[in-house]
Amino acid sequence: MAMGEGPGAASRAGMAKVILGGQVLSLLLTLLLTPVAYSLWDDLTVVFLRMTGRTEAASPAAAGQP
């Protein structure tokens, strides 16, 4: 549709390009940016916990204690 020819193709090509661009952006955000952000956040949490001297299992529920 974005590269189509024929009557009315010019009026639909712009909208098709916008839709395809949005789909590509959504794909990149979902599959690349979100996992990388979570990984970096986890790494920063570990560094912060080491700097403050806390352990990762700070709460009794996380440590497996009743």
Q: What CA–CA distance (Å, rounded) separates 43 from 36?
A: 11
Give the model's confidence band at 31: pLDDT under 50 very low, under 70 low, under 90 confident, else very high: very high
Q: pLDDT tens-digit profile of 40-64?
A: 999 999 999 988 887 765 555 555 5
- DSSP state string for 17-55: HHHHHHHHHHHHIIIIIHHHHHHHHHHHHHHHHHHHT--
pLDDT for res 15: 87
pLDDT at 39: 94
1 pLDDT tier (thresholds 50, 70, 90) = low
Q: Which long-range contacts (CB under 8 A, 24 or more apart) does 21-28 make?
A: none
